[in-house]
Amino acid sequence: QPPRSCEDYWWEWKHCRGLRHAFHHYYAHGELPACGRWRDDYEACRAWERGRDAAAQEALCESERARVMEKQKYAPVWTLRKSPPPDWYLPLDQDKPN
C-alpha cells in the first residue's frame, strides 16, 4: 500500500493551490509554490492502488524519500541540551528592574 493515503496527496495539492497558501509562500520565499509535485504524487498513488503499477510505486517512494531528505536538510534553530541548567530550580528574576 502507498506510504500515505491518496486523499492526503489530493488535500496537499488543493491546499498548495489555495490563495492563502500562495500568498504566504510568496511572502516568505519570494516565489509562488510549486504544486505539481503533489498532483503527480496523487496520480502515482491512484495508479498504484488501481493496477499495482511498479513505475508509479517507485516514483511515489522516490518522491517521499526526497521530501524527507529535504526536510532533514535544515539544521534546528536551537541547540538541544543534554541536561537542564544547574540553577533550573531557582525562581526567575521577573520582578527585578533591568
Predicted TM-score of the model (pTM): 0.69
Domain count, the chain: 1
Question: Could you tell me if residue 39 is inside a domain?
Answer: yes
Backbone angles phi, psi at 96, to 5 degrees: -80, 140
Question: Could you tell me if residue 30 is inside a domain?
Answer: yes
Predicted confidence at residue 72, as pLDDT, reads 83
Residues spanned by the domain of 62: 6-68
Q: What is the pLDDT of residues 34-91, one digit of tens each?
A: 999 999 999 999 998 888 888 888 999 999 999 899 888 877 788 888 999 888 888 8
Question: Could you tell me if residue 95 is inside a domain?
Answer: no
Question: Could you tell me if residue 1 is inside a domain?
Answer: no
Record the cell numbers describing residue 43, joined without a space: 496520480
Beta-carbon count within 10 A of 36 CB: 10
Question: Could you tell me if residue 75 is inside a domain?
Answer: no
Question: Could you tell me if residue 33 is inside a domain?
Answer: yes
**Integer Cα distance of 67 and 77 in angstroms:** 20
The 3-state DSSP class for residue 2 equals coil
